[in-house]
Structure 1
Amino acid sequence: MAEQIEQDELEDSSAPLIEHLAELRTRLIRCVLAFTVAMVACFSVGGPLLDFLLIPIEHTMRSLGNPNPVMQYTAPQEYFFTLVRISMVCGLVVSFPVIAHQLWRFVAPGLYKNEQSAFLPFLIASPVLFLLGAAFAHFVVVPMAMAFFLGFADVPSLVAAIAQGADSVGEAVESSGIDIVFNGKVNESLDITLKMIVAFGLCFQLPVLLTLMGKAGLVSAAGLKDVRKYAIVGILVLAALVTPPDVVTQVVLFTVVYGLYEISIWLVLRVEKSREARLKAEGLWDEDIDGAGAGTDVTEADSEAGKDK
């Protein structure tokens, strides 16, 4: 009899797990279907998408005197797989709202109402900031990088024109030796653009990440201010790693990311003040607790106060 009761309890406890796994399977299938449909749709317009991504290098080549920019691919399958890569990246971006909605529908029932209201704005802000970072990279940083790299091609002709007293630097000047011209490959040029877009999109997630950590009590505004000098060094290292080796582009990335860091401090400070005001109104705030300890205790008290399904 006792064994039968234990067996029944075991079956009852395993039932919710099976239900959660079944729901997770359903959500994942919907996410995969959304991504597949978006990828196929993006592949159907892969050519225009590729032209859009190559706009920075096209404009740079035209500004350097090439009236008909041409790029090449050196393998029969290269262009096809380039379009596949573009369709995968763009398909993920297009299907992200559906994927995020499915993940939210799976996670939300297990959260308290105050946790849902705290988490949902970040779920909306994250893709918006990623798109802003991607747009900034595509329209500002990538053109600067292309101008820096391709600009080296004009240096020999510029020096030769000055040495021979040409009336116009843009005039063709005869010179000995071999002319070095840019014959860009599609996939290699696209790599630079995609890497920049992803890097800046992720950097723009900094306010979301730090503010969410501030809501969880993992970081504080005072703590972020204390480590500001280390953050500056880290941002400089990041700028050196993900940007071309020219000072202008590195300064742009440093300025943007450091500005996002300062915005994050301000957002965390607002979160702390809002939490303090709410807990004071509920009588859960202890004035004797220091700022660092208060962050943890306040978070725990906030969680207890919001346990309302």
Structure 2
Amino acid sequence: MPLDQPDEHQAFGEMSIGDHLEELRKRILYALIGTGVAAILTFAFGFQLIAWIARPLLQAQEALGYPPAVYAFDPTVGFTSVYLRVSLIAAAILASPWILYQLWRFIAVGLYAHEKRVVHILAPFSAVMTLLGVAFTYYILLPICLVFFIGWAGYYPEVEPGDRGLMLSLIYGRPAIETPVESEPDTSALQLPVLQNDPETLSEGMVWLDARLGALRAVIDGEVHTLMARQPRMLQPMPELGQFIGFAAFMGLGIVAAFQLPVIMLVVGWSGLIDPAWVRGFRRHALLAVLATSAILTPSDLLSMVVLALPLYTLFEFGLLLMAWVYRDPSFPEDA
């Protein structure tokens, strides 16, 4: 222990259990207050957040030729499973750097002055890694998962009901065949414009056929609505909004937490708790842990797992470089 820093560790050693509990209580209170402030913001913009989260799903549906729509099969879904869940999860993500900072302040009571300096970069670094985790989930991993699973429905064949079989014909009878009424044929069929995209200029009552979606579209009350869409396949994906929010939230929270790995490794290296040379010997174990984490956080397809595993292992190596850069052997203090 350096001769010019005895009081710091002596004070820490003399702290009673009650003092430790009081410090922990204070840090938990500060973390909850920070989360509450973040929740005020996320609840105020809850509907905008929901629309932002659902956009990759709607884009994937449209790109694959399905009507862009989500459904709710429970009257409480709109508030409990969607609005409330999204707002709370967004508040936890927004406040995560502040929560990590409070955790560090609790731990820093027992550290030297030079070890505490890492707190000046801890919160900004954690905030950057949080943003990177959210961006990676939203712009890379989530679209890949959605295109894979929604697109899989397109491989199912078209199945026409056809004529009733013998048994169904005996039970229900054969469908009646209507005799056409003799009249002059009507050759004035209604023709609608066939467009690849929605018209740039919209007016109330406009109707057109969307060739890309195979859907009948119309302008009603100033908004474009899909009135009817073709059903070319046996399997039609009908995403339920609450389930999709849960799927995206589980993936996003896990990835944001995993992206904090370099932050944790930086703190561990700075405090001298673990030698980076010792950590290098566990690269194989780290790779196995990365693959297991990727398998848990992603759906069951191999592509999503590999897409997540690559950046996670890169973050481990990056964290290892940070550990080696800031590591100080505790047996050789700064003032020695």
When normalised by structure 2's length, the TM-score is: 0.65
Asked if 1:255 is matched to 2:286, the reply is no
Change (3 A) 1:106 1:61: same
* Alignment: residue pair count: 258
Amino acid at match of 2:47: G
Classify the secondary structure of the residue corresponding to 2:90.
helix
Q: Over residues 201-259 of structure 1, what are the superposed CA-to-partner deviations in whole Å (9 max), with x where a residue is unaligned?
A: 12212222223222333433332332212222222222222222222212111211111
Partner of 2:172: none
Return the alpha-carbon distance in structure 2 between the equivalents of residues 174 and 112 of structure 1: 68
CA contact (8 A) 2:98 2:123 kept: no
Alpha-carbon distance, 1:98 to partner: 5.1
Asked if 1:215 is matched to 2:270, the reply is yes
Classify the secondary structure of the residue corresponding to 1:72.
coil
CA contact (8 A) 1:142 1:193 kept: yes
Asked if 1:239 is matched to 2:239, the reply is no
Bigger CA drift: 188-197 or 97-106? Answer: 97-106
CA contact (8 A) 1:210 1:219 kept: no
Classify the secondary structure of the residue corresponding to 2:156.
helix
Identity of aligned residues (%): 28
Bigger CA drift: 88-97 or 128-137? Answer: 88-97
Q: Over residues 111-155 of structure 1, what are the superposed CA-to-partner deviations in whole Å (9 max), with x where a residue is unaligned?
A: 432121034323331232122112101110011011111111111
Bigger CA drift: 219-228 or 105-114? Answer: 105-114
Return the alpha-carbon distance in structure 2 between the equivalents of residues 211 and 19 of structure 1: 28
Which structure 1 segments of 5+ residues have no match?
Answer: 1-13, 161-167, 276-297
Return the alpha-carbon distance in structure 1 between the equivalents of residues 107 and 280 of structure 2: 33
Higher helix share: 1
Amino acid at match of 1:228: R
- Matching of residues 1-309 of structure 1 within 5 Å: 28-67=28-67, 69-81=68-80, 82-96=82-96, 99=99, 111-157=111-157, 179-272=234-327, 275=328, 298-302=329-333, 305=335
Return the alpha-carbon distance in structure 1 between the equivalents of residues 23 and 289 of structure 2: 41
Amino acid at match of 1:299: P
Return the alpha-carbon distance in structure 1 between the equivalents of residues 111 and 102 of structure 2: 15
Which structure is larger by alpha-carbon Rg, 1 or 2?
A: 2
Change (3 A) 1:132 1:23: same
Alpha-carbon distance, 1:52 to partner: 0.7
Alpha-carbon distance, 1:180 to partner: 2.1
CA contact (8 A) 1:31 1:99 kept: yes
Return the alpha-carbon distance in structure 2 between the equivalents of residues 24 and 236 of structure 1: 34
Alpha-carbon distance, 1:190 to partner: 0.9
Amino acid at match of 2:150: L
Q: Over residues 70-116 of structure 1, what are the superposed CA-to-partner deviations in whole Å (9 max), with x where a residue is unaligned?
A: 11112221110121111111122334455556666666666432121
Return the alpha-carbon distance in structure 1 between the equivalents of residues 159 and 301 of structure 2: 21
Higher strand share: 2
When normalised by structure 1's length, the TM-score is: 0.70
Amino acid at match of 2:333: D
CA RMSD of aligned residues (A): 3.4
Change (3 A) 1:191 1:141: same
